[in-house]
Amino acid sequence: MRTDAEHEMATPPLAAADRATQGPAVPSRRRLFVYRHTIAVRILHWVNFLTLTIMLMSGLQIFNARPDLYWGATSHFSHPVLSMVAMQDGQGHTWGVTTVGSHSFVTTGLFGWSKGGDGTYTERGFPRWATLPSDTWLAMGRLWHLFFAWILVINGALYVLWGLASGHLRRDLWLSRTDWRRLGHTFVEHLRLRFPKGEEARRYNGIQKLAYLFVVFIVGPLIVLTGLTMSPTMDAGFPWLLWLFDGRQSARTIHFICAMTLLSFFVVHILMVVVSGLWNNIRSMITGRYAIEATPTAMESNHE
């Protein structure tokens, strides 16, 4: 029998040609936790999440008191730009009908005609599960909405001030030349549900930056100013608001559009969180730590 040493000597080394066919060695990939969100960003994020949810639902309660929208300093109530009503057909059946401009859609069970708390159908713009309070209660809806509006304004102002002072806005949200050049590619990759990995996942991409800047500096100020314009007291003190938004009814319409824009942003944001790694994203917004795939080289650079 051969000894181990004799067996090793008898075993020929791997031929050079065989080694070439195996290709270069691929460095192993490991998970690396990076600090992605500061505590200030995390606190402001969750306050915004709670505040916007309550404001949206209470705002829909207010909208249901008059489920239609108009445009212009002089409103023509027979020609709304949007309405959600209940209508009867020739056979006595009631349907929920949503009208946008000159186009009407049957939306029974969702808009215009939906189930109330007792299980029977009733006329209301948005269904009870989408409003706060769930049953018709305009006064309470207004109290919820106006109270949390102050929290939203204060939280938004703190975010902007902190972002400017800490450099967060410039460092993390301002688009670089590379972001602008890759914007089209990034958009296509998002449509294909392909998200950044490794080093690219450390920071926001161009699409994320544009979305956040749009919400913070355009939608946010618009929704606050149009909300103020709907108040007769504010109009008396600042009459230029009525001129700026072409009347109170136009301001109400813009306010509604901004609210739906925020809702769309929220839905897309949640979808991206889910498909790009639910637990990883939630953990990063709770603890600040975000896991990425990294080669040993990337890990060494991170320690440096």
Residues whose CB is less than 8 angstroms from the CB of residue 100 and which lie 6 or more positions away in sequence, other chains included: 81, 82
Looking up tokens 């706060």, which residue turns up? 132
Residue-wise pLDDT for 15-33, tens only, equals 444 444 454 544 455 778 8
pLDDT of residue 31: 77
Q: Is residue 62 part of a domain?
A: yes
Residues 222 and 204 grouped into a single domain:
yes
7, part of any domain: no
Number of domains forming the structure of the chain? 2
79 closest CA partner among 105, 107, 106, 100: 100
The verdict on 177 and 275 lying in the same domain is yes
Could you give the 3-state DSSP secondary structure of residue 273?
helix
CA distances from 49 to 71, 142, 245, 267, 276 (A): 30, 19, 28, 12, 19
Same domain membership, residue 199 and residue 82? no
CB atoms within 10 A of CB 105: 12
Residue 1 within a domain: no
User: Hey, which bits of the chain come out as E strands?
Assistant: 30-35, 68-69, 82-88, 94-100, 103-106, 112-115, 121-124, 289-294
pLDDT recorded at residue 302 = 52
Residue-range definition of the domain harbouring residue 168: 30-67+130-303
pLDDT in tens, 32-76: 888 888 999 999 999 999 999 999 999 999 999 999 999 987 777
Q: Quote the pLDDT of residue 12.
A: 47
Instruction: Give pLDDT, residue 200.
Output: 80
pLDDT value of position 201:
80
Tell me: do 251 and 117 sit in the same domain: no
C-alpha–C-alpha distance, residues 132 and 52, integer Å: 12
Give a yes or no: residue 87 inside a domain: yes
- Residue 294 has what pLDDT? 66
CA–CA separation, 148 and 154 (whole Å) = 10
Report pLDDT for 80.
93
Q: What pLDDT is attached to residue 295? A: 55
- Same domain flag for 93 and 204: no
Q: Cβ contacts of residue 245 below 8 Å, gap of 6+?
A: 225, 226, 229, 251, 254
Task: Name the amino acid, one letter, at 7.
Answer: H
What pLDDT does 14 receive? 43
Q: Are 83 and 141 part of one and the same domain? A: no
Half-sphere exposure of 213 (CA within 13 A, CB side): 15
Per-residue pLDDT of the chain (304 residues; tens, 9 = 90+): 444 444 444 444 444 444 444 545 444 557 788 888 899 999 999 999 999 999 999 999 999 999 999 998 777 778 899 999 999 988 889 999 999 999 999 999 999 999 988 889 999 999 999 999 999 999 999 999 999 999 999 999 999 999 999 999 999 999 999 999 999 999 999 888 888 887 788 888 999 999 999 999 999 999 999 999 999 999 999 999 999 999 999 999 999 999 999 999 999 999 999 998 999 999 999 999 988 876 554 455 454 4
